Structure 1
């Protein structure tokens, strides 16, 4: 019993004081490693603009590993298939309900797979679209129209979906926006500077919200 209490006290302390994030590695063959320059650029932007002190050396953690509990924020992306084993799903659920936060950024083509796999994590919860006045759109920078559009794929409007646990937003799924492409080095996608700035500002909002809520 003492070991159990000590573990969760330590976990709470990590989430309370840590300002770090990691890339989430998953099974299924999807390219979890896409956008390699995205998070380093976002971290530098946050440290320079919203007074964070995030480690600029980005680590990768596997979804089924207890290592995920070291990070208050996980980032997940890709274009294709995602698979969570039962153990992966349980580990991720425990992480999220214990205070962690997961941002999933669809890099195009990920949506049908991640939607199915999230049912393993939260069988009784659905992804719900966040209203434009949700705090995540104004935590550091104001986005009165909600999630910005960064890259065009199917001509659809960008949407931000979430899963809540006991009224706390524990998971954000950004769809038809492609924030990660906007965070990458400019020469990767040749995005105009104002588009990259929108992507980075929205990313900073996510980071600030995850660290403070």
Structure 2
């Protein structure tokens, strides 16, 4: 497993994850309490900085105020190119509906904002700031600003429909070195919809969809992702009383991490299917049980993905 240059390392075994925590100058005494997903692990092993997640930071809660949604935060075309990490979300048109989904706005904006804050907190990589606010953006595939962002994200892609221009633009973006992560689509109907659309972008005969093996670098960047976590929406979690994480029953019982790579083996498209990784970011301040069970693995996966995208 790749371990960056560290002053101090601690290993946390938690629900299939080996988290390698580094760049510590002191050992903070705060320990994670009431973490239901961890069994048979001594609490002394739960050492900061991941322990800071035991006190969720208050995110900017402005997704719905007065029944209205926050407007999309588009980039300023006159702004200088920032080499720091920017979370760029793709705005697209939905052509079908999925239960509990809201198309491209799913998990927006708190998921994007919270992830950026945690990414800077738990890595040495800087993020882009707009004053005191994490500089996340929404772009369309038509937008020339698209090529400023080496990492783009799409949610609820079982509803997406791309026109011919969007297909060409996304293909160009990916083949020029861009990285796309799609998340939060459940069951076979959503999978078939996405597989059809991405197949128009990248021919499956040349660029097949494959499962990401456990020893792939993307699963071993900073955290060892031995198992893909199944993270439900918080609505599903509450409705089910926390007893099940599969939003489509037996049809979505197994979470998958799949990818499409270029001729050199670089992942261009990453797909987290039958799981909602971004809900573990978005909802960290709403429900402590949900937070303590799902936010740890959600951030571990997300940090690995962005570190991979930034270095490949």
TM range (shorter): 0.7 to 0.9
Instruction: Give the counterpart of 2:256 among 142, 159, 162.
Output: 159
Partner of 2:57: none
User: TM-score, length-normalised on structure 1?
Assistant: 0.85
Are the equivalent residues in 2 in contact too, given 1:21–1:72 (CA < 8 A)? no
Superposition RMSD in Å = 2.0
Partner of 1:25: 91
Task: Give the Cα–Cα distance (whole angstroms) in 2 for the partners of residues 22 and 191 of structure 1.
Answer: 26
Partner of 1:173: 271
Moved more, 181-190 or 124-133: 181-190
Instruction: Give the counterpart of 1:129 among 211, 230, 240.
Output: 211
CA shift at 1:199, angstroms? 0.5
Partner of 2:308: 209
- Judged with a 3 Å threshold, the aligned counterparts in structure 2 of structure 1 residues 91 and 111 are, in CA distance, closer, same or farther, namely same
Task: Give the Cα–Cα distance (whole angstroms) in 2 for the partners of residues 46 and 177 of structure 1.
Answer: 20
Partner of 1:112: 192
1:51 lines up with 2:150 in the alignment: no
Partner of 1:97: 175
- Judged with a 3 Å threshold, the aligned counterparts in structure 2 of structure 1 residues 187 and 49 are, in CA distance, closer, same or farther, namely closer
Deviations along 1:125-161, one digit per CA (max 9) or x if unpaired, are 221111111111111111123x222222235121101
Partner of 2:298: 199
Moved more, 168-177 or 50-59: 50-59
Are the equivalent residues in 1 in contact too, given 2:185–2:191 (CA < 8 A)? no
Number of aligned positions between the proteins: 198
Task: Give the Cα–Cα distance (whole angstroms) in 2 for the partners of residues 39 and 126 of structure 1.
Answer: 29
Are the equivalent residues in 2 in contact too, given 1:18–1:72 (CA < 8 A)? no
Are the equivalent residues in 2 in contact too, given 1:72–1:99 (CA < 8 A)? yes
CA shift at 1:184, angstroms? 0.9
Partner of 1:88: 166
CA shift at 1:98, angstroms? 0.8
Structure showing the higher helix proportion among its residues: 1
* Structure 1 gaps, min length 5: 1-13
Task: Give the Cα–Cα distance (whole angstroms) in 2 for the partners of residues 23 and 107 of structure 1.
Answer: 16
SS of residue in 1 equivalent to 2:302: helix
- Judged with a 3 Å threshold, the aligned counterparts in structure 2 of structure 1 residues 107 and 40 are, in CA distance, closer, same or farther, namely farther
Partner of 2:3: none
Task: Give the Cα–Cα distance (whole angstroms) in 1 for the partners of residues 284 and 119 of structure 2.
Answer: 17
CA shift at 1:194, angstroms? 3.8
Deviations along 1:146-181, one digit per CA (max 9) or x if unpaired, are x22222223512110100111211110001121011
CA shift at 1:80, angstroms? 4.3
SS of residue in 2 equivalent to 1:99: coil
CA shift at 1:99, angstroms? 1.1
Instruction: Give the counterpart of 2:141 among 50, 53, 63.
Output: 63
Partner of 1:11: none
User: TM-score, length-normalised on structure 2?
Assistant: 0.59
